[in-house]
């Protein structure tokens, strides 16, 4: 019985993979991975944020002779938002920078996705209250603008 249940779960995975995860914004594009990475970084800057971090396994894997699809996490934030978040909740700052995720698809195109700032900061609203919720909504708008600019 367990084997049957496990098999059914595995068969359902492709169906679940089609649905965006809760709290995520997903933007498929016709751009290549390298184009989308460059355009995302430019859009971050153009929208008043800073690329604070970037990390991904693609280049390190290639250096080891392993070829994997392009995969990069780009952390974006700025000092104004950092100070404002800290004024509402010290705990919430663990989530900064909030990250964009650029992934290369099998067909050579790339997808931009991210967890919405409101989703990321939701667990801290008990501490940060309405001011933190307002900051998160402001960041939602900014992250959406970054994404829409990067994918056009």
Average pLDDT (66-75) is 97
Residue-level length of the chain: 152
Average pLDDT estimate for 11-17: 42
pLDDT in tens, 93-122: 999 999 999 999 999 999 999 999 999 999
Domains of the chain (ranges; CATH) run 20-151 (3.30.310.70)
Q: Give this prediction's pTM.
A: 0.86
Confidence of residue 18 (pLDDT cuts 50, 70, 90): low
Element (H, E) at 134: helix 125-151
Q: Give all strands of the β-sheet with 98-104 in edge-to-edge order.
A: 24-28, 110-115, 98-104, 71-77, 50-55
In this structure, what DSSP letter does residue 91 have?
Answer: G
Distance CA 44, CA 58 (A): 22
Is the pLDDT score of 14 beyond 70? no
């Amino acid at each position: 019985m367990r084997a049957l249940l496990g098999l059914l779960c595995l068969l359902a995975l492709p169906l679940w993979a089609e649905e965006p995860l809760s709290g995520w914004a997903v933007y498929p594009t016709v751009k290549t991975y390298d184009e989308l990475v460059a355009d995302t970084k430019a859009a971050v800057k153009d929208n008043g944020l800073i690329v604070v971090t970037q990390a991904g396994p693609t280049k390190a894997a290639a250096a080891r002779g392993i070829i994997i699809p392009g995969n990069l996490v780009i952390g974006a934030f700025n000092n104004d938002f950092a100070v404002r978040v800290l004024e509402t909740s010290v705990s919430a700052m663990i989530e900064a920078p909030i990250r964009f995720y650029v992934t290369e698809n099998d067909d050579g195109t790339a997808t931009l996705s991210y967890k919405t700032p409101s989703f990321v900061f939701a667990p801290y609203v008990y501490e940060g209250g309405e001011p933190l919720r307002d900051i998160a909504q402001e960041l939602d708008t900014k992250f959406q603008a970054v994404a829409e600019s990067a994918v056009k």
